[in-house]
Homo-oligomer: A and B are copies of this chain.
Amino acid sequence: MVPRLKTALDGPLLALEQRILDRMPEIEQWLRSQWQEHAVPFYASVDLRNAGFKLAPVDTNLFPGGFNNLNPDSMPLAVQAIQDAVERVCADARGVLLIPENHTRNQSYLQNVATLASILQQAGMRVRVGSLLPDVKAPTKIDLPSGDALTLEPVVRRGRRVGVGDFDPCMVLLNNDLSGGPPAILQNLDQPIAPSLAAGWYNRRKSKHFAAYSRVAREFGELLDIDPWLVDPFFGVCGEINFQERSGEECLASNVAGLLERVKRKYDEYGIAEKPFAIVKADAGTYGMGIMTVRDPDDVIGLNRKQRNKMAVVKEGLQVESVIIQEGVPTFETIDDAIAEPVVYMVDRFVVGGFYRMHPARGKDENLNAPGAQFKSLAFESPCIPDLDGPAGCPPNRFYAYGVVARLAQLAASIEIEALDAAPPPAAVPAAVS
């Protein structure tokens, strides 16, 4: 069942959804043509925010870590889609080496790895899981709450190939976001790696992603003859930030002021009574770390020690040097009184499922990707199939709109990664440590 939305949606989004449904053939054709010009990411997940008056992505993950949160009914679609994805990378594929994050105790994440391995197996691949953890020196079996088990094996390099044990895979599938840099053991391989090493978070910047997204949204706006702001959050960037040393505060404050002003003008244009807010995020941050909600430029001046510590460091202890100031999109959706945001999963060009991320202790203007978040899988009656005769607001139709906006973000990620792939490669680092 689709979780019930607690409140009926108001005008602009319903109009947007209706436009998206009406123009479905043009949208699908346009997306097909885009995927002829750009390399489709192997997989991606996109966090969306549905404000009732706008629907926009707020984060695009190229190493999705929640396959276990998808509804089991979504699995056949994921299996079918991953066949296209694998064929694109390695037509001859029989063996896939899956490289996860360096977690050994995060059961939920490990369940994601097991689910992903199972999807690949069901698509006819041999799959083994190669760990980059120095501690994993021999095959290590980890029991999972589901009753499954996952065996981590040390990644072995032989010349220009990697594998585990005597397993020589056709391709390497990364489910590790490479926050710490591209591991030396994976550099200069003969085997294809998906996503490319350049797509790691050591190299990505949210601001580059959303700049690409804005261009995509503008083109999409022209296609549908709509204001691209309806699907695109405004943003600004401050480089040369040092939270510990309190440098860059002025840039932050003036960017926040300018952004809130721009958003206010849009709210006035559409008669929206909400108070604008901004989300300040580490430009290379993941895991919901290094994020704060800002309602006034003064909020970023004179941060206290705790706030500065929280913002200064992200995953794997990396210093934050640049931040993105993004228009806050309030989430309009609640499930059982908890604020909820949809997360859409894509494999190759296909939307294969999604879930709601909920947080009972967070507000509608706050980041939900935080400890205490819960997940509610979406067993859409028809996972990506709109009911063309139904009203725009009905759940399958809402999900089609979600799938379209998520695919716009996926396209932006593709354009972003193409630019990173074309740039000179960064220096190698030794195998990451956890």
| Contact residue among B29, B77, B84, B383 (Cβ-Cβ distance under 8 Å from A93) | B29
Interface SS of chain A: helix, strand, loop or mixed?
helix
Given contacts A25-B125, A32-B93, A80-B81, 20 further A-B contacts (CB under 8 A): A24-B124, A25-B95, A26-B94, A28-B83, A28-B94, A29-B92, A29-B93, A32-B87, A32-B91, A33-B92, A73-B73, A75-B382, A76-B77, A76-B382, A76-B384, A76-B385, A77-B77, A79-B384, A83-B349, A122-B386
- Residues of B within 8 Å of A19, CB to CB, are none
- Are A25 and B126 touching (Cβ within 8 A)? yes
Q: How far is the CB of A117 from chain B (nearest CB, A)?
A: 11
- Are A25 and B124 touching (Cβ within 8 A)? yes
- Are B122 and A388 touching (Cβ within 8 A)? yes
Q: How far is the CB of A433 from chain B (nearest CB, A)?
A: 33
Q: Could you show 16 A-B contacts with beta carbons less than 8 Å apart? A: A25-B94, A25-B126, A27-B124, A28-B94, A28-B124, A28-B125, A29-B92, A29-B94, A32-B92, A33-B91, A33-B92, A36-B91, A75-B382, A76-B384, A79-B384, A79-B385
Q: How far is the CB of A420 from chain B (nearest CB, A)?
A: 27
Which residues of A, 92-124, contact B by the 8 Å Cβ criterion?
Answer: 92-95, 121-124
Tell whether A229 is near chain B: CB-to-CB under 8 Å. no
Tell whether A350 is near chain B: CB-to-CB under 8 Å. yes
- Are A123 and B28 touching (Cβ within 8 A)? yes
| Contact residue among B28, B122, B385, B388 (Cβ-Cβ distance under 8 Å from A385) | B122
Q: How far is the CB of A173 from chain B (nearest CB, A)?
A: 15
Q: How far is the CB of A20 from chain B (nearest CB, A)?
A: 11
Query: A1-29: contact bitstring with B at CB < 8 Å (1 yes, 0 no)?
Result: 00000000000000000000000111111
- Are A80 and B29 touching (Cβ within 8 A)? no
Given A32-B87, A87-B32, A386-B122: A77 in contact with B75 (beta carbons within 8 A): no
Cα–Cα, bound, A28→B83 (Å): 10
- Residues of B within 8 Å of A122, CB to CB, are 382, 385-386, 388
Which residues of A, 25-50, contact B by the 8 Å Cβ criterion?
Answer: 25-29, 32-33, 36
| Chain A residues within CB distance 8 Å of chain B | 24-29, 32-33, 36, 73, 75-77, 79-81, 83-84, 87, 91-95, 121-126, 349-350, 382-386, 388
Given A382-B76, A384-B76: A124 in contact with B92 (beta carbons within 8 A): no
Cα–Cα, bound, A92→B92 (Å): 27
- Are B25 and A385 touching (Cβ within 8 A)? no
Query: Which of A26, A84, A125 is packed against the most chain B CB atoms within 10 Å?
Result: A84
**Which chain B residue shows the least CB distance to A81?**
B80
- Residues of B within 8 Å of A77, CB to CB, are 76-77, 80
Cα–Cα, bound, A93→B31 (Å): 11
Cα–Cα, bound, A24→B32 (Å): 31
The 3 closest A-B pairs by CB, nearest first: A28-B124, A29-B94, A122-B385
- Residues of B within 8 Å of A36, CB to CB, are 91
**Which chain B residue shows the least CB distance to A400?**
B122
- Residues of B within 8 Å of A92, CB to CB, are 29, 32-33
- Residues of B within 8 Å of A385, CB to CB, are 75-76, 79, 122
**Which chain B residue shows the least CB distance to A122?**
B385
- Are B124 and A76 touching (Cβ within 8 A)? no
- Residues of B within 8 Å of A24, CB to CB, are 124
- Residues of B within 8 Å of A388, CB to CB, are 121-122
- Residues of B within 8 Å of A75, CB to CB, are 382, 385
Q: How far is the CB of A17 from chain B (nearest CB, A)?
A: 16
Q: How far is the CB of A387 from chain B (nearest CB, A)?
A: 9
Cα–Cα, bound, A196→B178 (Å): 48
Cα–Cα, bound, A76→B385 (Å): 7
